[in-house]
Structure 1
Amino acid sequence: MVRRYWRVLVRRFAVWASPAHRAWRRSLQLRVVTLTLVASSLLVAAFGWFIADRSAKILLSRAQDEVQVSMRNKVGYAEQQLTVHPQARDPLLPRTFATIVGQLADGDPAESGGSVVSIRAGQSAELAPVTSPNVDTAELITAELVHRVSDDAKVANQIVTARVNGHTTKYLVTGSPVPTSFGHVELYYMVPLTTEDSAANQIRTTVLATGLALVIMLGVIAGLVTRLVVTPVRVAARTAQRLSAGLLDQRMKVDGEDDLALLAASFNQMAANLQRQIVRLEELSRLQRRFTSDVSHELRTPLTTVRMAADLIFAERDEFDPAVARSAELLQAELDRFESLLTDLLEISRFDAGFAALDAEHTDLVPIVERVADRLTGLAERVGVEIELRLPDTPVIAEVDPRRVERVLRNLVGNAVEHGEAKPVQVTLASDDAAVAITVRDHGIGLKPGEERLVFNRFWRADPSRARQTGGTGLGLSISAEDARLHGGWLEAWGAPGEGAQFRLTLPVRSGDRLLAAPLPLIPRDRAPALPAPGPAPAGDKAEVV
């Protein structure tokens, strides 16, 4: 019960302190001012306490010195008056006691402004103590002080706060033995420390007010100084944010010739250089894309002519010499490869130019997967690879562009067959309420750590020296990744040396929805779960369970 109560309190405090914690993390000025106030408060408090304590001790020491001088005079007077009495039983001795007290007392103790004098003969019980009128000294003269003065015959003092005649006052009580012919007589002199206490309180109040004003001034000065530094930094941060958003003409205002002005000038120079480089790179990229597109289009016309001639030669190859017939077959294969490369370049140029459009419609993905597998069966049989389909019995409907999805699957399955090393290739389809996923798993040479990101780069190959069966262009996976992004989906890869690779295509069921998880894991279920998958999973993937 207690633990739950404390947890509730801690949770409520965390909620209450959350805005302050957020402001503390985000504001440099707040941290500097707060730390300055805390440090200055500690220093001023320590210095103020030292000054106040030292002043109080000086005032008390001065009061003690004055009382000591006065006490010596009073003891001398009392000793002079008591020399005429040879013994304690002298009937005139009480009157002498009263005379001494009357002469030595000054002021009215009832007004908490006068001193109190008391004389007593502790060694003569028949002599009653005599004290200044209407003053009860029971709280002022303690047993400890009496013992030190009477038994030890020493001059002693102490500070006592007591209530005298209805007023609570602090007294400096000093006791001294008075030597006589009939034994020791004790004289006690009680001086109120009202003036010293008042002066000490005034000093404390003055130190406190001065320290508080000093702390406030330091806080204000720290805030102003920090503002002078933080404001240009904030301006630089906002300008950098605008630059990162594409507003390349943003600049900082340069005032003066100090370090902050130098920072602003350097920042502006950097922004100008970046703007020139970005504009130059954009122009080069635009020219490159235009060049690729123009070349691809321009090569279409001669390619068509060459294709017609090659088709004619290829159709008549049986009538040629075997070497010429083989040349005709090679010419036909390379023309197919060249035409595929031109097609891929044109598609890439459309993606680069932002002209690619999604023609989404509600489509059953099961027939698409089956159609891709059927078209690649011949290639799979030639290389000794079996394509295994793991498809649900019910239709899997999603709002996709069937042409692009089929192209992605054709690239994935074709690559898996090519790199399958005569081992089966599994194609799995699964879906849930929000997403549909297709995985293509091969058991070939696999991918090295880090290559699962490189496979989607243009013209990248894991092993350029390796003999290829299909003569790919090196752009298939790049186009497939662009097709997946156009759908708002993911195309991811996993691989391990000697364990094959698996590619996963994840698409939203409804076009435009945001993906949060995939129905199928990226890491194959047949892989050992103790080994972590190389490379981090994409943000939002909640289905990476082996």
Structure 2
Amino acid sequence: MRGDARGEGRGGAGSGVRGWAAARRTILAGLRFTSLRLRLVVVFALVALTAAVSASAIAYWLNREAVLTRTQDAALNDFQQEMRNRAGALPPHPTQSELQHTAGQMARSSQHYSVLLTAENAAGQPVVGNSDLSTFTRDDVPVALRRAVNKEQPITSTNKSASHMYWQRVTDHGTPYLVGGAKVIGGGPTGYMLKSLEPEADDMNSLAWSLGIATGLALIGSALLAQAAATTVLKPVHRLGIGARRLGEGKLDTRLRVSGTDELADLSRTFNSAAASLEKRVADMSAREEASRRFVADMSHELRTPLTAITAVSEVLEEEADTLDPMIQPAVRLVVSETRRLNDLVENLMEVTRFDAGTARLVQDDVDIADQITACVDARAWLDAVELDAERGIMARVDPRRLDVIMANLIGNALKHGGSPVRVSVRVEGAWLAIRVQDHGPGIPQEVLPHVFDRFYKASASRPRSEGSGLGLSIAMENAHIHGGEITAANSSEGGAVFTLRLPRDGVDEETEQQERGAGAASHGRRPAGGAERAGNGDGDPEDV
């Protein structure tokens, strides 16, 4: 009699690993990580969990196979030996009592299995001997196993026996069993054995619990390790972020503490080098800009004294122009015109230096906007060229002198480049006042629109000595900013350019005014005298940010 092992397919461990991989992909797809620390911890945990689950699954599978194979082989070998020694000693046609007695003897084996013997008596009737009728009957043997046991195999050079031993694992009410069957060679009874695998299943459950606890501990350990690693890695990154933010706030003396020789230390050194270079460049630029502003301011002050005398003389010449020689009159008028132009340029330069230095001040008052614009137009004799669309009684808190400068520049620019009539409209938009100045000229070229408020900018580069200094709109914008407002330029769909001034009706408080002056000075690169703005610990040492 030859033993043959044929059992059930096993796919539990493989399907479990595939299920875990799918769950991991779902988790990764569903999470939206916003923290590098969280990502590190999750990645560490997933790697550790994957490794632990894989190792546990492999260990469980290997141990399960080892335990079941060892138990199975021991039981089948013992049963095979009992069949050879005891069942083989029975007569060809045993009685029921002989089968019962032999089955009982076989069941006393150390492997603790139940035995079922079947045969035919002398009359050709089937007889059954059972070691334990309450637990093991013919119905407990799978049909496929009975067919395999009773089927005779052809005798070949490789197959010396017509009968073989077959086995199968079954589960009954949650309890696993091993069922084996064999037939006595040369004729005789057929025997079946039933062995409970519940002890082995309990051992496997205990092993599974142990592996699960080990996996949980590995997950906790990996999370703690990831937290420690994240703290070590992210602390320099956090310092770098704080340093970059402080550098962006203008604290150019910000430096990082450098420790170690790894890539993060190299990054900190690079940051410190870049910050030092930026600080030096800003200091150099600030020094040059401060010198340039000081030169313009000093030059403007120095020009005012001789310009005052020249202006007085030119006014006298203008009054006497009609009595002079006709050949001299054009020269006198040219001198008068250029003197006025130079006087306007000096005044504009003085105003610009006040804005750059942050010394411009507002003297606010509640004024009627319609009356203020009418006074501005009347003082410059533009009544015939300007159409005013403004209701009386629209009050706003502004600086009358600075509003006059804004409107004079906007209306004068419209008359100069767009032609009359210039339409000025005043509207109230919630807490804001909107003043639109529209001309009927050709409009502003698209490539010029972004630069109309730049200092000294003129649309035609071929006319550098055209009337005007190129500072009027820039000064108007600065005056709008100090009010907390703005000016926008655009082209109207009806033709012509439209400049829109928006101002808060309630004015600005002193704190907002100071912020506007500071923002205006900073926008032109102003820095405190002596170099870049300093911040931090003040002693020049690197800051632990």
TM-score with structure 1 length normalisation? 0.78
Q: Give the match's secondary structure for 2:82.
A: helix
Query: How far did 1:365 drift?
Result: 0.7
Partner of 1:525: none
Query: How far did 1:136 drift?
Result: 4.5
Q: Give the match's secondary structure for 1:127.
A: strand
Q: Give the match's secondary structure for 1:438.
A: strand
2:168 paired residue among 128, 146, 158: 158
Query: How far did 1:95 drift?
Result: 1.8
Partner of 1:94: 96
Instruction: Report % sequence identity.
Output: 30
1:459 paired residue among 456, 459, 465: 456
Q: Which runs of 5+ in 2 are unaligned?
A: 1-29, 153-162, 513-545
Partner of 2:209: 205
1:170 aligns with 2:176: yes
The one-letter code of the counterpart of 2:169 is I
Partner of 2:321: 317
1:335 aligns with 2:303: no
Partner of 2:540: none
Work out the CA distance in 2 between the residues paired with 1:341 and 1:269. 44
| 233-242 vs 442-451, which moves further | 442-451
| Alpha carbons of structure 1 residues 122 and 376: separation in structure 2 relative to 1, 3 Å | farther
Query: How far did 1:417 drift?
Result: 1.5
Partner of 1:476: 472
Partner of 1:135: 135
Query: How far did 1:268 drift?
Result: 1.8
1:388 aligns with 2:392: no
Per-residue CA shift, 1:414-467, capped at 9, x if unaligned?
Answer: 1111121x4643222100331110111234333343533311111011223359
1:293 paired residue among 290, 297, 300: 297
Mapping of 1:490-501 within 5 angstroms? Answer: 490-495=486-491, 499-501=495-497
Query: How far did 1:37 drift?
Result: 1.5
Query: How far did 1:173 drift?
Result: 0.9
Q: Give the match's secondary structure for 1:459.
A: coil
The one-letter code of the counterpart of 1:192 is S
2:499 paired residue among 500, 503, 515: 503
Work out the CA distance in 1 between the residues paired with 2:381 and 2:147. 119
1:104 aligns with 2:106: yes
Q: Give the match's secondary structure for 2:189.
A: strand
Work out the CA distance in 2 between the residues paired with 1:252 and 1:271. 10
Partner of 1:405: 403
Which portions of structure 1, spanning 4 or more consecutive aligned residues, are displaced by more than 6 angstroms?
none
Work out the CA distance in 2 between the residues paired with 1:99 and 1:45. 51
Q: Give the match's secondary structure for 1:323.
A: coil
| Alpha carbons of structure 1 residues 57 and 21: separation in structure 2 relative to 1, 3 Å | closer
Partner of 2:15: none
Q: 1:81 touches 1:96 (CA, 8 Å); kept in 2?
A: no
2:250 paired residue among 246, 249, 263: 246
Partner of 2:117: 119
Report the count of equivalent residues. 470
Pairwise CA RMSD: 3.1
| Alpha carbons of structure 1 residues 79 and 293: separation in structure 2 relative to 1, 3 Å | same
| Alpha carbons of structure 1 residues 270 and 306: separation in structure 2 relative to 1, 3 Å | same
Query: How far did 1:405 drift?
Result: 1.3
Q: Give the match's secondary structure for 2:327.
A: helix
The one-letter code of the counterpart of 2:485 is G
Partner of 1:279: 283
Partner of 2:149: 149
1:40 aligns with 2:42: no
Work out the CA distance in 1 between the residues paired with 2:374 and 2:469. 24
2:359 paired residue among 355, 365, 376: 355
Query: How far did 1:69 drift?
Result: 1.9
